[in-house]
Amino acid sequence: MAEGYGYGKTILFGEHLVVYGLPAIASAISARTTATVKGAAKYTLVDNRPATPGYKKGKYEEQVESNRLIYKACGIEVEKTPIEVTLAGDLTAASGVGASAASAAAIARALNGHFRLGYDDARINEVAYEGEKGYHGKPSGIDNTAAVYGGLIWFVKNLQGGANTMDLIRMPKPVEIVLGNTGLTSSTKEVVEAVRRNRERDPKAYERIFAQYQETVVSARSAITKGELKTVGRLMDANHRLLEEMTVSCDELDLLVGVAREEGAYGAKLTGTGRGGLMVALTPGKALQDKVADAIQTEGYVAYKTTIGV
Ligand code: PMV
């Protein structure tokens, strides 16, 4: 029997902008998915992860395909060598927290332990990337990299189709955040397409947005590395304003972002696809984190307390 884990993630800077070759910064969060693998009479998958209602059912087919790709990448035939795989952990399976990548990384690590495959983290990451293909078709690789290595990642998509840039960046110490869930599910494909149309209609506005964002993200990298959290928060606010201009926020996200700031969050923005999904607030210290999370819950929304820079 062996156990493995994979971290969830949140995008701190650059959702949607990353599609156009601008840099994004994502961070692993301390919430993790764990996988336990043990020998069994027949192949079984037990999914005990906490999840947003409807998530597991909606993703079931993709999960089966993802696991098939993982076993294939590891050269394991589960019909010949049956195993029981149990997923658990404190990461709530929901859209926008990298749940699929966390699960793929956890399974890859557990298989590595159980079958003594001798994989290092680089190989675990390759296997987790294969697993991600079951969910996304053409994943960028940022989620599985965060899931396997933890820490923060500076990511630039290669628009020519070559390898993407992925630098691991470190914060001086882990910092508390709150993720607020609007409870609304949106389609990444549709929202990305809406931004593309907006940009076609108003290329001048988007040139300005891209230029402002470029400055924001470069300053953010430097502030994160130095642990200048007030600056990081201010830059998250600036990023949210640009995302609002790009029409990917919505009333519920703006409400939760506003509540978080009123309660003293250093900064807050939507995270991930937008038009629903999650927002992230930078809330250093347990007391501020509790205060912001409580205020979000009081508004009737679910809040997750976790940490970046793990
Ligand atoms: O909702 P998430 O966490 O899967 O993030 C989507 C990020 C986008 O930039 C909107 C799309 C993409 O492929 O980068």
What's the 97 CA to ligand 1 centre distance in angstroms? Answer: 10
Each as own residue / partner, the long-range contacts of residues 224-229 (CB below 8 Å, 24 or more positions apart, any chain) are 224/12, 224/25, 224/152, 224/169, 224/171, 225/169, 225/170, 225/171, 226/172, 227/171, 227/172, 227/173, 229/175, 229/266, 229/282, 229/284
Q: What is the pLDDT of residue 163?
A: 86
Residues within a 6 A CB radius of ligand 1: 11, 15-16, 18-19, 95-96, 140, 188, 192, 272-273, 277
Q: What is the pLDDT of residue 21?
A: 95
Domains 2-169 and 175-308 share a fold: no
What's the 100 CA to ligand 1 centre distance in angstroms? Answer: 13
Quick one: tokens of 116?
């003594």
Provide the residue ranges of all domains of the chain, joining segments of one domain with +. Answer: 2-169, 175-308
Class level of CATH domain 175-308: alpha beta
Q: What is the pLDDT of residue 138?
A: 78
Q: What is the pLDDT of residue 96?
A: 85
CATH architecture classification, 2-169: 2-Layer Sandwich (3.30)
Averages of pLDDT over each 10 residues, the chain, 310 residues: 97 96 96 98 97 88 96 97 98 90 98 98 96 86 93 94 90 96 88 96 98 98 98 98 98 98 98 94 98 98 94
